[in-house]
Amino acid sequence: MKEINTSSLKIKETHTETQYGGMTVNERLYFSGLIDKFDTAVAKKDVKEITAILKEVELSDDNINAILQHFKLIKRQNILSK
């Protein structure tokens, strides 16, 4: 895995073949047509909806947790079950 820094947010990138391979989080959200839905969920602080959207664009639980922490929606603990 290679760590990348997106707006001071460290995201781990895996090199698996998916439709989103090599895309940033914003690119994935835009490409999937979910960017407005994501922005609305963030504004509402709807952790369940944010998580569902990020899973839909094939982010890992670790990356989802990093994003939720970035938006101060969770503390450092992992809220996602593995």
pLDDT digits (tens, 9 = 90+) for 26-80: 999 999 999 999 999 999 999 999 999 999 999 999 999 999 999 999 876 555 5
Q: Look at residue 2 in the predicted model and tell me its pLDDT.
A: 39
Given a cut of 80, whether residue 5 has pLDDT beyond it is no
Residues 6+ apart with CB under 8 A from 60: 12, 14
Query: What CA–CA distance (Å, rounded) separates 44 from 3?
Result: 29
Q: Is the pTM of this model over 0.75?
A: no
Q: Look at residue 4 in the predicted model and tell me its pLDDT.
A: 43
Q: Which amino acid is at 63?
A: N
User: Distances in Å between the alpha carbon of 51 and those of 2, 47, 54?
Assistant: 22, 6, 5
Q: Look at residue 82 in the predicted model and tell me its pLDDT.
A: 47
